[in-house]
Amino acid sequence: MSGEKKSDGTRKYRFKIFGVGGAGGNIVQRLAGGGEPVLAGIELLAVNTDAQALESLSGVETLPIGSAVTHGLSAGGDVEVGMRAAQQDFDRLTAAGQGVDVVFLAAGLGGGTGTGAAPVVARAAKEQGALVLAFVALPFTFEGDRRRQQALVGLDQLKAQADAVIAIPNDKLFRLVGENASVVEAFRQCDEIVISGVRAVWQLLARKGLINLDFGDLRATLGAKHSDGIFSHGTGRGADKAKEAVKALLEHPLLEGGEALAKADGVLVSILGGPDLTLADVQRTVEPISKHASRAQVIMGAAIDEAYREQLAVTVIAAGGASRRPVAAARPVLPPRPGVIPVVRPAPVAAAAPPAEPKKELAQPKQETLGLENVTKGRFEKGEPTVYDGENLDIPTFLRQGVRLSR
């Protein structure tokens, strides 16, 4: 992380993109074959349990994980399998992040490998001292509640490991491409968001610019926030290029009309322009953004690219704000240390209280009696009764007077 300049004017920072799972692999493949000259020099690595998916990639370094767990197959949508696979090859993941200054992690959440392995990959990179910025896609609503809930739990786990996580809800992509767009176009737009974010950070640190930033600035702004990230991008042309770029940025679906900036603690503003970029252009770009992010620490940088003559592109990456959604269910289980196979157990259910014993009613005081009955006179049955004062004295007194004898 010396930041020394190379002969072409760029600085010696190492950047690496970890594409985790199928969606992450698609992104690094596009970067490898899409002719992105501005990202030249960034290392690309695809991480997956699916050996066949990795073999289909070209121009990309691959790292198969979990061969003993999945035997070269996919995780089958099982997050636990994806996590165990990454844990099995934790040492290889750590080695892949050695000496890297900034790790960009790209994945789709909701499936098995992307959701389960991404937090482990992020932690492996963090243990090597890298700044980890994650870009993840959340499922479309039509993919079902189970997949969405699985994605949200995975998102919480990833935020606990990465410095900042920018979640891209696929449903919001419709606002960018239109509801009549094909699925391929929607996913391509998601790829564009990731590429724009990577480019914004890369050009500030690696390219010579009008206003340069160093790695310490970036880490101070985005490092260790462990929260929802915010992303937006806008471009403009001509005399009002700064105004147009800011307008497009604030109208981006992921920025929520600029309201999301008000919740952020740290905001990175990256400006890219041609040789005609002026300080006035920079001021007209940064000033309205700073007003929306009034409570945040705002840092900015401006880079020059010959291809952007009479153009201006602005990208915002922010972190540290309160979560924009309620956290569902229980706290996520963090991936265990290397060598420990994680076991996800259901949250303990509170033991039901034993049924209360019915109250015993206190017996009312009661005088128990002898069960004596009136008896016959036996051999004197036919004799005349002895009557005195109207009472038959042959009948015992306790019977005549109704006296009940106690036991």
User: Rounded to an integer, what distance in angstroms lies between the CA atom of residue 303 and that of residue 323?
Assistant: 31
Residue 23 Cα distances to 3, 191, 259, 314, angstroms = 32, 9, 29, 26
CB of 120 closer than 8 Å to CB of 87: yes
The verdict on domain 229-324 having CATH code 3.30.1330.20 is: yes
Q: Give ∠ CA 81-87-92 in degrees, rounded to 5.
A: 130
Rg of the chain over all Cα atoms, to the nearest angstrom: 38
Q: Where are the domains of the chain?
A: 10-207, 229-324, 367-407
List, for residues 370-380, the tens digit of each pLDDT value: 444 454 555 55
Predicted confidence at residue 71, as pLDDT, reads 92
First to last CA, the chain: 101
Predicted confidence at residue 42, as pLDDT, reads 87
For residue 38, give the amino acid letter: V
Q: Which residues of the chain have pLDDT under 70?
A: 1-11, 34-40, 208, 223-227, 256-258, 320-407
Q: Which CATH architecture has domain 10-207?
A: 3-Layer(aba) Sandwich (3.40)
In the sheet that 297-304 helps form, which strands lie side by side, from edge to edge? 209-211, 297-304, 266-273, 311-319, 230-237
Predicted confidence at residue 346, as pLDDT, reads 40
